[in-house]
């Protein structure tokens, strides 16, 4: 079997016999007023973080969800977009489609506001999304793209870019590796399917997103995910995997490179009330302003004695001067 066939077989198994805690971080599902999540849906929470960011889901966006899993995040997106086919869930594994459909029927019984028509489950895969160009507001995936080998990841990212409207958002949660994963683990197809051996480093992961055309990336969260210990995985030393929640925007890449926001701020500490770099960045004396990593480096180089750049917090929620 190819590694994708191995992954499909693995997820057929866990659709029929849920494995609690297979991928997910140790956290409860997002709590929203009037939203009830059934135990079967919780048990199939095969994600490593979240792609659902409530403050950004106004105006009832159309969502394309790739890899439906147990339907949990599809239901959460539908909470904000309550109309027929508001969420299009793409899933290549028949058993998983069937399990998600059952879980959404239970959700309709437990949530008076929810109608199963809000989520349309369709057969398909990340490489050939069955929707038109520039037709959706959001593409989301949780703990799926990390399974792909690098060139397949690029295919999936470019396909997501194709179907997004201008200004649309690719909302992802994936494991990343704190250093390159050794070849003997990358070649283990079962571990890859379990989201334990296919992760790229942060630098490699963000470069792939930018190379697909996305001009802005915002990091929503970065946290420990799993430890590959040296004894179990035949490593020289332990290898930490992290979970990265990100939002990438379908906007033009600036001439000086894409903007990546990781929670850095720039603080002007000079003698004037303001500092203006004549490039669109205005810093008020003593007040931190959120800046992308690219701008942070430029500002620090302009006036190293007067501009303080804080470290990445690995959390960004908008604002600032970029």
Any residues with CB less than 8 A from the CB of 33 and at least 6 apart, and which? none
Q: Which two tokens stand for residue 112?
A: 């008076």
Of the chain, the percentage scoring pLDDT greater than 90 comes to 82
Q: How far apart are CA 96 and CA 93, in angstroms?
A: 5
Strands (E), 124-271: 136-142, 164-177, 216-228, 239-249, 259-261, 265-268
pTM: 0.93
Q: How far apart are CA 229 and CA 235, in angstroms?
A: 7
pLDDT tens, position by position, 290-310: 999 999 999 999 999 999 999
From 131, 130, 135, select the one nearest 164 (Cα to Cα).
135
CA distances from 314 to 133, 139, 202, 303 (A): 32, 22, 12, 25
Bridge partner list, 174: 244
Pick out the chain residues at pLDDT < 70.
1, 16-29, 320-322
From 62, 69, 12, select the one nearest 45 (Cα to Cα).
69
């Amino acid at each position: 079997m190819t590694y994708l066939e191995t992954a499909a077989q693995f997820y057929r198994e866990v659709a029929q016999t849920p494995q609690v805690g297979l991928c997910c971080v140790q956290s409860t599902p997002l709590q929203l007023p009037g939203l009830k999540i059934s135990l079967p849906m919780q048990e199939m929470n095969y994600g490593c973080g979240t792609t659902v960011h409530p403050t950004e889901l106004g105006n009832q966006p159309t969502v394309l969800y790739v890899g439906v899993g147990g339907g949990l995040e599809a239901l959460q997106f539908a909470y904000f977009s309550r109309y027929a086919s508001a969420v299009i869930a793409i899933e290549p594994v028949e058993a998983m489609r069937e399990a998600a459909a059952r879980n959404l029927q239970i959700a309709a019984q437990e949530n008076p506001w929810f109608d199963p028509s809000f989520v349309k489950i369709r057969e398909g895969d990340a490489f050939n999304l069955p929707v038109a160009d520039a037709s959706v507001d959001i593409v989301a995936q949780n703990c799926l793209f990390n399974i792909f080998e690098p060139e397949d990841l690029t295919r999936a990212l470019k396909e997501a870019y194709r179907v997004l409207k201008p200004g649309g958002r690719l909302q992802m949660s994936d494991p990343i590796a704190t250093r390159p994963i050794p070849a003997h683990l990358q070649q283990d197809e079962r571990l890859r399917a379990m989201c334990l051996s296919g992760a790229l480093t942060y630098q490699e992961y963000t470069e792939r997103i930018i190379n697909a055309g996305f001009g802005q990336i915002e990091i929503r969260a970065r946290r420990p995910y799993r430890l590959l210990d040296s004894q179990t995985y035949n490593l020289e030393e332990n290898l930490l995997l992290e979970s990265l929640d990100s939002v990438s925007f379908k906007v033009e890449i600036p001439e000086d490179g894409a903007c990546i926001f990781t929670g850095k701020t720039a603080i002007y500490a000079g003698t004037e009330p303001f500092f203006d770099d004549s490039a669109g960045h205005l810093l008020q004396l003593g007040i931190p302003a959120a800046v992308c990593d690219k701008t942070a480096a430029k500002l620090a180089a302009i006036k190293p004695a007067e501009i303080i750049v804080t470290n990445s917090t690995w959390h960004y929620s908008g604002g600032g001067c970029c």
